[in-house]
Structure 1
Amino acid sequence: MKTLLVLVTFLTGLAVNSQSSYQKGMTKAFETWANKNQDEAVNLFERIAKAEKENWIPYYHAARILVVTSFGLKDAAVIESRLKKAQDFLNEAKTFSKDNAEIFIMEAILNTAYVASNPSKYGMTHSAKVEELYQKAKVLEPENPRAVLYHAEWKMGGAKYWGKDPKVFCPEIEKAILYFEKVSSHDEPFYPKWGMNQVERVQQNCN
């Protein structure tokens, strides 16, 4: 009995230390990103992902940095390189979490980045992917605020491109706000929670 108790205590200690190491590493990666060291943060998330094994979240955040920072870049080769690497990270994430709304949303934004960078090259091939990915995410999580907000922004962009009124999608933004406000806490501290700070930017299409 005493031997069993010692073993349980030992294993519990290992689990706590492992969790602490993961949390410290993730916190450092987020701080590095906040300090504008994007590529270093990507490397940190990638190292954590490889050490953690079967955890999709570090791969997700590594991809997220590459996708978000690709918007606004001018060099086509750099954009494609970053988005390809981001897709590789998301593919890794999907091996651990196959039907995951958050991964689908990030993949939709990744494909949006392709379209935004070169509409004539990627518009026809990637637009359908964007719509399909948002639909998949919303089937899994109809009240996911990121799915609702960014899908609305995507449809607004399409409406403007085709000379239609983007304001018809403004009620979707109001829904997203409600979903952000009611979103439940998650056991995983680094589970995606971002997006509320982008509502005002997307709402500019409603003015």
Structure 2
Amino acid sequence: MKMIITVLAFLVITTTQAQTNYEKGMTKAFEFWKNQKTDEAANLFERIAKAEKENWLPYYCAAQVHIVKTFNSKDGKEILSRLEQAQNYLNEAKTFSKNNAEITIMEAMLNSAYVIYDGQAYGMTHSPKVEALYQKAKAIEPENPRAILYHAEWQMGAAKFWGKDPKAFCPEIEKAILYFEKESSDIPFYPQWGKDQIARVQKNCQ
């Protein structure tokens, strides 16, 4: 199972100097990421997080950068290093925002990255974590489209592995589409990614 994420930043214009600096920094970090400057992006997100204090979003973004990078890497040492860094960032994010569906989804993706990297080594230990984390995220936010879409993709992958029909989870994708259409947030840089991945996941329904 291969997961590729395209991240879209939705900006809200703010007025105070502190907010403007935060916005500029986050925008610059996303530009680094867009230009495949992965380490520069993650490092800038980390610096922003330390400056902002008690803001989970920069730590979340730093973790996401590292996790996404592993999906396109074949270097085992790099993959494990990035996933360890990502877990540290998510641990920091959780200290500022408990029972956060977005952080929980990202942690599910982190654990799935271990399975994707080496199913034999991590499948037995990390697969149950992935399932539990997606279930937790959906319990926190039942209409979160990322939780629904990526949980469906995970379940489809598991169904294929066990020789079952992945199409059983196609209705979940339709549900995610509806929730993506309803999604909105006025919080700068709040996660709203994933909609562009619907067609890729839907290939499992053909």
Same fold per TM (> 0.5)? yes
Matches of 2:74 and 2:32, distance apart in 1: 24
CA deviation string 1:158-180 (max 9, x = no partner): 00000000011011011111100
Q: Kindly indicate whether residue 24 of structure 2 is the aligned counterpart of residue 27 of structure 1.
A: no
Q: Which amino acid aligns with 2:167?
A: K
Residue equivalent to 2:135: 135
* More off after superposition, 83-92 vs 25-34: 25-34
Q: Which amino acid aligns with 2:16?
A: V
Structure with greater Cα Rg: 1
Residue pairs, 1:26-175, within 5 angstroms: 26-175=26-175
Q: How many Å apart are 1:51 and its aligned residue? A: 0.4
| Structure 1 unaligned blocks of 5 or more | 1-14
Matches of 2:67 and 2:75, distance apart in 1: 14
Q: Which amino acid aligns with 1:200?
A: A
Matches of 1:206 and 1:141, distance apart in 2: 25
Matches of 1:99 and 1:137, distance apart in 2: 8
Matches of 1:192 and 1:82, distance apart in 2: 21
* More off after superposition, 46-55 vs 27-36: 27-36
Q: How many Å apart are 1:73 and its aligned residue? A: 1.4
Residue equivalent to 2:198: 199
CA deviation string 1:21-54 (max 9, x = no partner): 0001001111111111111100110000000000
Q: How many Å apart are 1:79 and its aligned residue? A: 0.6
Matches of 2:38 and 2:79, distance apart in 1: 14
* More off after superposition, 65-74 vs 78-87: 65-74
CA deviation string 1:116-166 (max 9, x = no partner): 000000000000100110011000100000000000000000000000000
Residue equivalent to 1:10: none
- SS of residue paired to 2:163: coil
TM-score (norm 2): 0.92
Q: How many Å apart are 1:187 and its aligned residue? A: 2.6
Q: How many Å apart are 1:66 and its aligned residue? A: 0.5
CA RMSD of aligned residues (A): 0.9
Q: Which amino acid aligns with 1:197?
A: D
Q: Identify the structure with bigger relative contact order (alpha carbons < 8 Å, sequence gap 6+).
A: 2
Q: Which amino acid aligns with 1:127?
A: S
Matches of 2:151 and 2:17, distance apart in 1: 40
Matches of 1:179 and 1:190, distance apart in 2: 19
Count how many residue pairs are aligned between Structure 1 and Structure 2. Answer: 192
Q: Which amino acid aligns with 1:166?
A: P
CA deviation string 1:56-112 (max 9, x = no partner): 000000100111110131121111100000000000000000110000000000000
- SS of residue paired to 2:99: coil
The percent of aligned pairs where both chains have the same amino acid is 69
Matches of 1:94 and 1:33, distance apart in 2: 23
TM-score (norm 1): 0.91
Q: Kindly indicate whether residue 180 of structure 2 is the aligned counterpart of residue 190 of structure 1.
A: no
Matches of 2:113 and 2:204, distance apart in 1: 19
